[in-house]
Structure 1
């Protein structure tokens, strides 16, 4: 929903100490409880507000969040943030609905599905602003346009992963053909198994996020042969989702969150070292050469990292078409109902003004 501007929200608490962050894969209520126990009360005593974020899975394209952590923007805006990976695109919103996180970072369609089942949610910020996905294949594979996917087997993650939704939407909405009718088969595999399926011939191509694209090139000699962002364009691919109750009860918290994301996104546009610093810290198991190679794909060859967190109606409508074509959303909902842009707009204006004055 969109609203007219209101009086300024209460200021976020002053920042007096550093942010602590823990990543817990597959955390539910018990995991978050343990996390809170480890954080203890010093953050409250020293002026920071503890905040829990549930991300779908741990992905390089969520760099806006990681930059806000490691660039100090969350703590600058008074928040002591802990991020936990829920373990799947459909799992982050239930963590918020259970009261074990304030914000979910996942596909916007998940907020629609939950709302269709009776939840009251809004999308408050754009985290990923484009389709950061590539088709990867053996060198010499002739896939340069959507028609070339006809009759091919595509290695993907398991439904409702965007690795299935993205090619499905692209073929239906941009290519004008149905994948099933065109003989396209999706080979759904666990994370990390897609490259091997291409190497051993079970699949012709694999659809991948970064870091997997750069890993596939460095480790397996595969190449990105098709960029879906080139034909799909901007959309609200991943958003920050909150309950309407939180927005009404604690607008200062929502504003502080959006301020931190907006400032981090603005910084990422001009400071590649921030991207590298945050990514090295978040993904110590990934070769730094892979992360450096992936930076081009995420920062310059796609709109994955937004310039600001606002969500436009056009982006929302494109995303709804994307989710419907991919099958992850059965009944769409309107931009006016599902997006509360006030906080992101305020944050964007604030940091645009700050940039002009600097």
Structure 2
């Protein structure tokens, strides 16, 4: 784990600024629940669908959504009580567990089941082979974060040592990676959507591979909360999970155009055709989880990725940090 993550997880703050609030409406019989998302991303389509299509409201919940900008800040907000539920990578719950928390963070509803980044080449390649990366300058993600770990895991699978075979750049802030690549930094870059599609549209780069496809299924982004909050509010967590599962079924059943329409209110500054292209790409590679269950095999794959990156000192107990009770009940209640 990087020093920044360790420091911020230990220095818990009392509040986190709310960047954006999104509510389904209010009613006297509704329960308010505060969600902190690690970033605003089309990758989290089921969450926005649960809001825009009224699934949270159906369950008697009013959602306040804030973007907490980074795994460390999101976890700090959760641990301090500034938010009730976090949408963030499962690795953050493992990091908290490694710190010896008396109130562990529990993963209870999975949203994405693969890495969401893509390998973008500066040059258009008629035929790509991973060996082409050797000797290149690679603009990567933050050390200790799930994107970088999934990236390194994939590179090593392909016979590439990130530290020896590449000029690896990791000192660029997440938000500045697309601009850095556009301005000439790196031969290749590991990039999220919609930036990857935007870069392609501008002719400044070309998507040549998917880290999500290559690194396999894992609980990449999950709704989680403190054990104490879940124990105090089991009915609220159940309603929340029911709404998430309804949204997952909706996303699985609906065409790309309809999903795009459901998401556009959350991406007002992004061209609708870009949103559509990203939804199509993520849906085709099955990035969205089909149900909220956090699978043990995927959990173990996550820890394999973390160990390969040297970010896991001891494997975390699946049964301690994952509670599928609410997901299983949601499937029973809503149907398959």
Q: TM-score, normalised by structure 2?
A: 0.87
Matched residue pairs, number?
A: 320
Match of 2:10?
Answer: none
**Cα–Cα, structure 1 residues 135 and 143, in superposed 2: closer, same or farther, change >3 Å?**
farther
What is the rounded CA distance, in whole Å, between the counterparts of 2:20 and 2:123 in structure 1?
45
Q: Once the 2 structures are TM-superposed, how far is the Cα of residue 328 of structure 1 from its aligned partner?
A: 4.5
SS at match of 1:90: helix
Structure 1 residue ranges, 4+ long, deviating more than 4 angstroms after superposition: none
- 1:52 matches 2:34: yes
Match of 1:125?
Answer: 109
Contact 1:143 1:226 in 2 (8 A): no
What is the rounded CA distance, in whole Å, between the counterparts of 2:308 and 2:69 in structure 1?
23
What is the rounded CA distance, in whole Å, between the counterparts of 2:125 and 2:88 in structure 1?
32
**Cα–Cα, structure 1 residues 89 and 278, in superposed 2: closer, same or farther, change >3 Å?**
farther
Match of 1:69?
Answer: 51
C-alpha distance after superposition, 1:7-49 (max 9, x if no partner): xxxxxxxxxxxxxxxxxxxx972635x989x98xx93x52110
What is the rounded CA distance, in whole Å, between the counterparts of 1:286 and 1:66 in structure 2?
15
Match of 1:332?
Answer: 315
- 1:257 matches 2:257: no
Aligned counterpart in structure 1 of residue 266 of structure 2, from 268, 276, 282: 282
Q: Once the 2 structures are TM-superposed, how far is the Cα of residue 178 of structure 1 from its aligned partner?
A: 2.6
SS at match of 1:104: strand
Match of 2:296?
Answer: 313
SS at match of 2:253: coil
Match of 2:3?
Answer: none
SS at match of 2:330: helix
SS at match of 1:269: helix
Contact 1:164 1:186 in 2 (8 A): no
Q: Once the 2 structures are TM-superposed, how far is the Cα of residue 94 of structure 1 from its aligned partner?
A: 1.6
Contact 1:131 1:303 in 2 (8 A): no
- 1:229 matches 2:212: yes
Q: Once the 2 structures are TM-superposed, how far is the Cα of residue 148 of structure 1 from its aligned partner?
A: 2.6
C-alpha distance after superposition, 1:168-224 (max 9, x if no partner): 11123x224431122341243234543444444420111111111111111344210
Contact 2:137 2:169 in 1 (8 A): yes
Q: Once the 2 structures are TM-superposed, how far is the Cα of residue 291 of structure 1 from its aligned partner?
A: 0.7
**Cα–Cα, structure 1 residues 90 and 324, in superposed 2: closer, same or farther, change >3 Å?**
farther
Q: Once the 2 structures are TM-superposed, how far is the Cα of residue 118 of structure 1 from its aligned partner?
A: 2.7
Q: Once the 2 structures are TM-superposed, how far is the Cα of residue 274 of structure 1 from its aligned partner?
A: 4.4
Q: TM-score, normalised by structure 1?
A: 0.82
Q: Tell me, which stretches of 5 or more residues in structure 1 are unaligned?
A: 1-26, 354-358
Q: Give the aligned CA root-mean-square deviation in angstroms.
A: 2.5
Q: Once the 2 structures are TM-superposed, how far is the Cα of residue 152 of structure 1 from its aligned partner?
A: 2.0
Alignment of 1:180-199 (within 5 A): 180-199=163-182
